[in-house]
Structure 1
Amino acid sequence: MRFRSILLATAAVLVVLHVLGLLTGVPIFRYAELMALSVLAAYALLAGVPIARWAVPLALVAPIVDAYRTMPAVYVGGAWQVLRPGPSGFNIGFDTTFRATWAALVVVLVLTVVALRRRERPRRRVMVGAALAAVVMTGFAVVLVVQVHLARRDAESLRPRESRSAVPELLAVASPPLVLALGAIALAALLVGRGYRLAAVGAALLAPAALLHLDAALGMVPLPYPGSRGSVFTEIGTTTSLPAPVPALTAAVELTAYLLLVVGLTSDRVRSSERHGPADPSPAG
């Protein structure tokens, strides 16, 4: 028990180091994310997961691979950079957001499949809450896409010969994050039905993390006005002197979600009687 607590504390410290490295633009420990996820997988193996002992470690393989793939380069100090103008066309696509969200998609898929194997289902009010959250997340994604589409249409109206519809590309960009957000909400509802409330909070956090990925990707679309792209999240990057506040926020939310999922699934769940209330007493004969 004490050793598992040490593992959990170590993972939390590594998460903080990784987020601080992103926030400052200087990797404090370039292996922090990789080691944090590996420690969480080891914690899940040692603690055991009631729904399926193999589920969480298997699900974490994808984030571990992604952390290795996106590991920060060795920092060699400041240096001058020469910026050259690139193409002004649409330079993002489906692969842009899929590369950012595929690992979380695997986590949600594996845990959802395992949760669906159980007979217990969430109550009606939980399903209603999940449906409302799904509507909010979908609406937020639609607003982001429409905002960028309108800005591009206004810009291309000045160059009618070069204008073309960017709707298919924008829908392709929005697809992976939106699927992740909706899948995370569904997983959270299933976990609440199973009594894993802390894990449900972790699953729910993957939904805003998905929209942060979408917002960051849409922020890469070339627009005529600097202030016309993205949303409040992207605007953080233009109002602060920190090198990468949005990637740091995204990593903090996503890694916290994994941490809560692991801890929540390895802890004692809320019993059915506590979730649904005591049974009605039978009438006296």
Structure 2
Amino acid sequence: MVYPHSWPSLGTTTEQTITVVWKSGEIVRLAVPSNSLTNPQNLKQSLDKSLNEGSETLSEKMRDCQIEYTNILKETRSKAKEEYKKLKELVQSSKEVSTNVTTEKHVIIPEGEIPKLRSETEIYNDMVKSEIDKLPIETRKIIELTGESGFEPWITVYRKPKFACAFEFHSHKNRFSLFIDKKYIEQIEISEQLAYILGFDSQVLKESCVAKFMPDMRGGVSCFHVYAPGLIEPMIIGDITAPVLRIVTIRGKQDEIIEEQFLSIQYHKLLVKEISEILIEIRTTSGSLMPFQYGTY
């Protein structure tokens, strides 16, 4: 038997992804290349490359919000100064009228009718709050999120998500770990096959953690099953029955052509007496077709 070692290192042709769910409600889906990954360090570099792509669209959106908010503060500061100046003059004139003698008696203005002098800061804060309340809900949420840290850190992590979340491989533990900065990220979602390869027992991760299992750089593909459907009687494989002709342990390295010789004879009962053609399928242990990328037809 001759077969090409040409399936993806991730063990599947299905696109594997990392989904970043931000505290702002934005969601960014990053693809992980299924190129030749021979060891955990290669896989880490591939993950870093994916997390380094980020989203220029989100960073530009944040930048636009920053400009809008800065203009609001600038205009409101100017309005607050004018308002404070007018209020101060009004209070001063009210006090002068209250002590002005126009007749034999003083003209008394009730204390409640004299405007209360508020500080410029108080006026400014109220005006800013009023202007923010007029903005769309999405913009208000962004302003609330950036209140403490400012806009620049958010723009940075949108462009380079690796500053807010990052995978590390610890060779002494033989485990991957994931760092999540809760200030920016709500959760990280990993596609099923990628989570298996990394050793995580959950696809949704909400805080920094270390993988429960060792990484499987074969992507779960350590052997394949040769099927002969319609030719032989099904045999018991685990908890199912399938027309498996032979189980082959995978050898060799990526891109090599592997040749196998089977010296031990295995006997199977045939379903038909006359054979016009033989259909052979090569499947993984999960029953899906082996994801050969080339060398087959």
Please indicate the TM-score interval, normalised by the length of the shorter structure. Answer: under 0.3
Structure showing greater radius of gyration is: 2
Greater fraction strand: 2
Question: Whose RCO is larger (CA < 8 A, sep 6+)?
Answer: 2
Query: When the two structures are superposed, what TM-score results if normalisation uses the length of structure 1?
Result: 0.25
